């Protein structure tokens, strides 16, 4: 006699695969710690009992990209860090999402200089941007809820949701910007992100 | 300035006196303020003077090497060596003044800790150090052009501008 016998007689529900998968994905996001500056302190603070990111099921911060599905880019991304960030993003398993936390990672913040990437969306696709310098944990939670709404609204089950959003033009644009950074006189018109 | 800080050029300190005796002509300025002593010396004699300060005067620790860009003044760079004697509980500041393009003798033969400091000065100011074991960039990416802490460095760099965006 199998232990599964008679186990399915009482409890069952009808749902769609999309709904079930989206529910599972949004309810246990495992963030990757990508703290780069002062925003990281707020990100860490959001895990403490005072703010408690565990209320939204996203408390399991992983040190390894291979175990996480949400990258919270918290802080200033320098041009030297850019390729590292991109590589770590590529190491994350699908499906994966990105929150750009704070002014620096969203648009470069106050650092419009020779060494700082002007927005992390130039190298990875960003789902939710958080304003603030640095944002309070409540702002991060709002971004998390927005991301959960977005995951919930994924219309059909896609094996790699990220690939749908990551257009070839963005990759080309990234390569082009790296090339631009190495030419003495940059081309006047840059490709705009689609 | 408080009354206990003497004027620049004081030679009351025994280290000043002995250094002036040993390297007469290579010591351009001496200062003493708030219990710290300082020298401006001849760039050609920097290794000899460093060795003397370490082995005779007991400044066994080099706590920092940095630079100041006084552009457009000439010579534009001032290399600053912060010395520390643990035995004597004393600090000293050694300065040399060099123009752009002049190679400075590396003091890694005296203090090995100068290695990364001199790389940093080379990376950010473009001052080259002769006889350095591994003089390459330490902070900026290897393919970076220019030396960003120079006063005439444009804020967006030479190769890229975000102003069009």
Residue B159 lies in a domain: no
Residue B20 lies in a domain: yes
Q: Is the ipTM of this complex over 0.90?
A: no
Q: Which residues of chain A have pLDDT under 70?
A: 1, 7-8, 156-194
Residue B91 lies in a domain: yes
Q: How many domains are contained in chain B?
A: 1
Using the Cα atoms of residue B119, residue B121, residue B127 and residue B132 in order, give the sign of their dihedral. Answer: negative
Nearest CA in chain B to A189: B164
Q: How far is A63 from chain B (nearest CA, A)?
A: 25
The pTM assigned to this predicted structure is: 0.74
Which residues in chain B have their CB less than 8 angstroms from residue A184's CB? Answer: 158-159
Residue B48 lies in a domain: yes
Q: Which domain holds residue B52?
A: 14-130
Residue B47 lies in a domain: yes
Residue B5 lies in a domain: no
Nearest CA in chain B to A188: B164
Which residues in chain B have their CB less than 8 angstroms from residue A189's CB? Answer: 164
Residue B93 lies in a domain: yes
pLDDT value at residue A123: 85
Among A13-17, A36-40, B8-12, B110-114, the range scoring the smallest mean pLDDT is: B8-12
Question: Can you spell out the DSSP letters for chain A?
Answer: --TTTTSSSS------HHHHHHHHHHHT--EEEEE-SHHHHHHHHTTSTTT-GGGGT----BSSGGG-SEEEEES--BTTTHHHHHHHHHHSPSS-EEEEEHHHHHH-TT--STTB-S-GGGTS--SEEE-SSSPPHHHHHHHHHHHHHHHHT--S--S-HHHHHS-HHHHHHHHHHHHHTTSSS--SSPPPP-
Q: How far is A73 from chain B (nearest CA, A)?
A: 21
Residue B9 clears pLDDT 50, i.e. is over it: no
The answer to whether the Cβ–Cβ distance between A80 and B143 falls below 8 Å is no
pLDDT value at residue A193: 45
Q: How far is A126 from chain B (nearest CA, A)?
A: 19
- For residue range A43-78, what is the model confidence (pLDDT) as tens digits? 999 999 999 999 999 989 998 999 999 999 999 998
Go through chain A and tell me how many residues it has.
Answer: 194
Which residues in chain B have their CB less than 8 angstroms from residue A79's CB? Answer: 141
Give the CATH number for residue B99: 3.30.460.80
């Amino acid at each position: 006699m199998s232990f599964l016998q008679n186990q399915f007689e009482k409890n069952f529900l009808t749902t769609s695969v999309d709904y079930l998968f989206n529910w599972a994905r949004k309810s246990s996001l495992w963030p990757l710690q990508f703290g780069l500056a002062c925003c990281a302190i707020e990100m860490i603070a959001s895990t403490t009992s005072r703010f408690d990111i565990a209320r939204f099921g996203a408390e399991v911060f992983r040190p390894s990209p291979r175990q996480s599905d949400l990258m919270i880019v918290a802080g200033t991304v320098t041009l030297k860090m850019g390729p590292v960030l991109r590589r770590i993003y590529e190491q994350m398993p699908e499906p994966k999402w990105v929150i750009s936390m704070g002014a620096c990672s969203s648009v470069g913040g106050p650092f419009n200089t020779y060494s700082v990437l002007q927005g992390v969306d130039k190298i990875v696709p960003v789902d939710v941007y958080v304003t603030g310098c640095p944002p309070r944990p409540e702002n991060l939670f709002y971004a998390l809820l927005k991301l959960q709404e977005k995951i919930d609204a994924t219309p059909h089950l896609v094996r790699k949701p990220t690939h749908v959003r990551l257009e070839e033009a963005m990759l080309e644009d990234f390569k082009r910007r790296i090339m631009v950074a190495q030419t003495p006189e940059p081309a006047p018109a840059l490709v705009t992100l689609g | 300035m408080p009354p206990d800080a003497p004027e620049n050029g004081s030679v009351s300190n025994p280290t000043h006196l002995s250094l002036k005796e040993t390297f007469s002509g290579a010591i351009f300025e001496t200062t003493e303020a708030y219990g710290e002593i300082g020298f401006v010396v001849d760039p050609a004699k920097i290794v000899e003077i460093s060795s003397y300060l370490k082995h005779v005067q007991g400044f066994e620790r080099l706590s920092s090497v940095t630079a100041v860009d006084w552009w457009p003044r000439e010579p534009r760079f001032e290399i600053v060596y912060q010395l520390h004697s643990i035995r004597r509980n004393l600090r000293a500041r050694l300065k040399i003044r060099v123009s752009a393009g002049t190679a400075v003798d590396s003091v890694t033969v005296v203090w090995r800790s100068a290695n990364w400091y001199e790389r940093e000065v080379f990376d950010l100011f473009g001052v080259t150090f002769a006889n350095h074991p591994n003089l390459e960039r330490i902070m900026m990416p290897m393919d970076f052009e220019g030396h960003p802490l120079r006063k005439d460095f444009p804020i967006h760099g030479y190769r890229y501008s975000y102003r069009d965006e």
